[in-house]
Chain A
């Protein structure tokens, strides 16, 4: 009798735990990304910036650096153009975020100035070594400072080139490398809009 009672109580606790987890998991456990992403603390020119500020609208995050001559400008231009293709009015319904992983050269003002060349509503964020290491780890972004011995650049930053889609509750739901040719980009993004 005691055993049956213990199992019943154990089972009830497990169900309650699961329900609690589902309610508090912004992706409701549906996404394979549900174990990734999460809160961050970074720097915007207006002050400290956390995931909380992005909630209320879906967000697209990209990690790069401002002295990236080729890949990052192409990625941001591609983001703008592919959003325009879906609907020019979509820009107001989502957050577009560029996070610089180059904590050695980029501060929040430099990142803001950089993203402003692409669109005035892109949120440019920087961070300290610790902050960048944490957010990249949580979002599965690889970056590495690579010395360029004979180059006047001195170093470059190898980095993952990928867009991360967050739902309006801040949960990571998908990621894309090729916005133009990946049909899921439009589909997933529209699904997250109210």
Chain B
């Protein structure tokens, strides 16, 4: 009995140590649009630490009329941009949204938003498992 109790305590202890199963967004940034430009891209790392595949379905934010998921493909030196209906993040994996690859496209940037003075903004990501994540998003010129 005593040894069984000890084993049970150990299992409970290990379960407690295990990181929580969750999904998260890291290092989110938006490319500061050129003055007069109505478009720009947002980039980040989306982590899925759950044991099920998830998909990003929708993005919301205060800066643009529309947010879309896009990708770039480089086929024999020709850059092709395509829209994606959803972006899959496999279980226990991550997907990087970065220039020349997956990105969120901000279309019809609203007047007075993402100006030179703006330092940060936010994005809300909505997934197919009903999880809604809001992340603080830096404004940057981006890597050159």
Contacts and interface: CB of A to CB of B under 8 A. Distances in A.
A146 B41 contact: no
Interface stretch (B48-56, B74-82, B123-131): B74-82
B36 A113 contact: yes
A78 B81 contact: no
A152 B142 contact: no
Contact of A159 (B35, B40, B78): B78
Interface string B41-79: 100000000000000000000000110101010100111
B144 to A, nearest CB: 4
A158 interface: yes
A161 interface: yes
Most chain-A CB neighbours within 10 Å: which of B41, B70, B81? B81
Interface string A54-67: 00000000000001
Interface stretch (A4-12, A24-32, A69-77, A119-127): A69-77
A156 interface: yes
Interface stretch (B12-20, B86-94, B101-109): B101-109
Contacts of A151: 68, 70, 83, 107
B138 interface: no
Given A81-B144, A152-B66, A153-B107, A73 B34 contact: yes
B77 A160 contact: yes
Nearest to A79: B144
B79 A161 contact: yes
B39 A69 contact: yes
A150 interface: yes
Contact of A156 (B66, B81, B100, B108): B81
State which size class the interface on B falls in: 20 to 34
B41 A70 contact: yes
Interface residues of A, number: 26
B103 to A, nearest CB: 7
A71 B72 CA distance: 9
A162 interface: yes
Contacts of B80: 146, 156, 158
Given A67-B39, A78-B144, A159-B79, 10 more contacts: A69-B31, A69-B105, A70-B81, A70-B100, A151-B83, A153-B68, A156-B80, A158-B79, A158-B81, A161-B74
Which 10 A-B residue pairings sit nearest by Cβ, starting from the closest? A117-B34, A77-B144, A152-B66, A69-B39, A158-B80, A151-B83, A152-B107, A156-B81, A71-B79, A161-B79
Interface of A: 67, 69-71, 73-74, 77-78, 81, 113-114, 117, 142, 146, 148, 150-153, 156, 158-162, 177
Interface of B: 31, 34-41, 65-66, 68, 70, 72, 74, 77-83, 85, 99-100, 103, 105, 107-108, 141-142, 144
29 contacts: A67-B39, A69-B31, A69-B37, A69-B39, A70-B41, A70-B81, A71-B100, A73-B31, A74-B99, A74-B100, A74-B142, A74-B144, A77-B144, A78-B144, A113-B36, A142-B78, A148-B83, A151-B70, A151-B107, A152-B65, A152-B66, A152-B68, A153-B105, A153-B107, A156-B80, A158-B80, A159-B78, A161-B79, A162-B77
